[in-house]
Structure 1
């Protein structure tokens, strides 16, 4: 019950700090349906991406992040789109963000799913990716990840946040589109500046933004049990965004690049998911504790960013992603005490919520919006002049639990969701 009480306190401070929950407290578990999908009927449109009763997919659960991997041909046309999932079936024994830190031994996994672009056809069955040359005895507990697109057959760079037992690192792999289920290990990126890496957004095949969600971490001996929670409870603005680049070093015969690390943005309470818009002009960052998404203007020449806006969302946001059209998809946890209970094995499911954050086309600001959803976002977060918030998916946790990431494929219109503690790992919802 200690973790439940702490989680409740975190959300209470979220309400106090933001001052934006008008009619319904986010501490109250809303009467969500089993499942709601805005573009179809949940019962017939949404299903797990892998067979639930097949033991081959036992490790395809507790999936935190996902990313599209686009393979382009030599003529500049999209040839194949894959989905790569970041999962850790051992999350309830090793979670450096929420706890516990009990057993770091069993490794997490990455899964590749080849997606179809033809209406009415099904995606391929997911395949577990095999690591080549991965160091023996090196932990693997994946969180955020992103991969560069492949053009005309070239290999892609895959970067994965790894919450290993001693410290959090970022693993660098190379993936060949001709053999897409093999991830060739290249190097481990490690620096004292990686205090609490969480999410990655690529700015080039060899550079990326990375969020650090906390300044105080659970690895800080006995104080690690208290300081991270205190940081969250008080909504202290101690999270930040850094930019990392691997620069070719002509003086190193081994080919090891120069490692560059610069701080891009400071003062973000619980900096969680991060995303770069398709045109490269905008960076979005989820502030979990405050229930907001921060928008930054990006200078591509030097990757500096300047905050220009913030938008409240009706839950504690986890991961975020721009779709192909530039709409930001935000996913998170509408009843945080429930997810704390799931992590502590006190309950089995927690609610899920995904919204689209769209630039506002109308100058008329209405207090009631998102009126088609079973539980309107307007009950939890106020309208703002810059963006509109529209529900794409809701569940009371029975239909799908602990939603952490959602991606929307513009070609098929399908919505892919992962669940931080979902036994079925990830689901796909197909528009009617």
Structure 2
């Protein structure tokens, strides 16, 4: 009887662990052999100059411009970048870049009224409601915390003073004006931003623990659904205006990127280690978020999502869909995080809704073994006028340790 109970217990334990272990093996690319997408005849990747270690990118469609935040240096990420556990402080200031998809050129914006450290991560862009030729830019800043490093490294003080920076940018100008910094006790491990207006936004905390063993466990143990999404409301755009914040959503494992969806109220949320995105609705009455459905991918982490709205849709073919980029061999990421010469393979997934079957159809739109682009954390599509009945687009891919943003032409069949 005793052995029987033990055997049943072992069987139950194996059954309990089989699913999470299988998921971990697939998502982290344990057995994956990296491949590189073969481009069409005469095509080659276009490397956008001066886009070093740009973790996020957004397509601001009203002006047909891409916005990104970059480190501008190939070495800084390997010393100080709290999301990867690099915690050797340094004084560094990244910058905001604007990429023109027509010329494939990047313009680095000078800062006005901003002198502090700027360690870049997620961003978002929202139009200025008072000026059609201007936008507001929200950007995560993981600056080292002076209260820790200048005070004898007290245990109860976090190493990073992560906060959100708000900038104002007039289109086609060469600089961006710093409006204010936004910090709040609920903003702990910010990753990505969903802008609603110049005074209202959502931000993901991708972990509950900032560092140490528990953060590592949180990243690999599926039941550790301790991260959250916070809504932030600013009273006005003055430097010292009061800030209110509330938790909008909990219960997602390692929620990471945020994206705008098909409607003004749709929020796209990624679970990085879950390898899936969630389509959700934001509620203006109380700023909460409710999940409507999820879309899981077969391999790779799911980082920052984006939505492609097909301007050439027809009754017979609508190429509108969601993109999500990620590292496809995350099992190597921690070891590679301190190595400037390592290669990190990537995949960009693309999913469209089959209107007849109601099924989300998924495919890898682009992948690389890390030689053309190292890491992928965001991707956007910019449409090209159809040729010979084919729907084409420029796919822009960037990563938190990529030396350049890459653009390739893809067919959306």
Q: Indicate the TM-score class for this superposition, using the shorter chain for normalisation.
A: 0.7 to 0.9
Structure 1 residue 262, shift from structure 2 partner: 1.8
The answer on 1:293 being equivalent to 2:277 is yes
**Aligned residue in 1 for 2:20:** 17
1:255–1:142 distance in 2 versus 1, CA, 3 Å? closer
1:15–1:178 distance in 2 versus 1, CA, 3 Å? farther
Match of 1:66 among 36, 57, 70: 57
Q: TM (normalized to structure 2)?
A: 0.79
Give the distance between the partners of 1:296 and 1:360, measured in 2 at CA: 19
Secondary structure of the 1:318 match is coil
Give the distance between the partners of 2:181 and 2:43, measured in 1 at CA: 43
**Aligned residue in 2 for 1:198:** 191
**Aligned residue in 2 for 1:395:** 368
The answer on 1:114 being equivalent to 2:100 is yes
**Aligned residue in 2 for 1:232:** 219
Give the distance between the partners of 1:398 and 1:404, measured in 2 at CA: 16
Q: Which structure has the larger Rg?
A: 2
Q: Specify which structure has the higher proportion of strand.
A: 2
Q: Deviations over 1:266-308 (max 9, x none)?
A: 0111111111214223212111122221221333454322112
Give the distance between the partners of 1:395 and 1:403, measured in 2 at CA: 9
The answer on 1:354 being equivalent to 2:348 is yes
**Aligned residue in 1 for 2:388:** none
The answer on 1:343 being equivalent to 2:328 is no
1:307–1:342 distance in 2 versus 1, CA, 3 Å? same
1:232–1:360 distance in 2 versus 1, CA, 3 Å? same
**Aligned residue in 2 for 1:322:** 307
* Residue pair 1:153, 1:178 contacting (<8 A) in 2 also: no
**Aligned residue in 2 for 1:379:** none
Secondary structure of the 2:144 match is coil
* Residue pair 1:63, 1:87 contacting (<8 A) in 2 also: yes
**Aligned residue in 1 for 2:288:** 304
**Aligned residue in 2 for 1:145:** 123
Give the distance between the partners of 1:311 and 1:99, measured in 2 at CA: 29
Give the distance between the partners of 2:322 and 2:18, measured in 1 at CA: 24
Q: Which has the higher contact order (CA 8 A, sep 6+)?
A: 1
Secondary structure of the 2:264 match is coil
Give the distance between the partners of 1:15 and 1:343, measured in 2 at CA: 29
Match of 1:104 among 84, 90, 95: 90
Structure 2: gaps spanning 5 or more residues = 1-15, 146-160, 311-319, 386-392
Q: How does 1:152-171 map to 2 (within 5 A)?
A: 153-166=132-145, 167-171=161-165
Secondary structure of the 1:348 match is coil
Q: How does 1:373-392 map to 2 (within 5 A)?
A: 386-392=359-365
- RMSD in angstroms over aligned alpha carbons? 2.6
* Residue pair 2:29, 2:300 contacting (<8 A) in 1 also: no
Give the distance between the partners of 1:299 and 1:96, measured in 2 at CA: 31
Structure 1 residue 129, shift from structure 2 partner: 1.1
Secondary structure of the 2:371 match is coil
1:420–1:176 distance in 2 versus 1, CA, 3 Å? same
Q: TM (normalized to structure 1)?
A: 0.76
* Residue pair 1:112, 1:127 contacting (<8 A) in 2 also: yes
1:203–1:36 distance in 2 versus 1, CA, 3 Å? farther
Secondary structure of the 2:36 match is coil
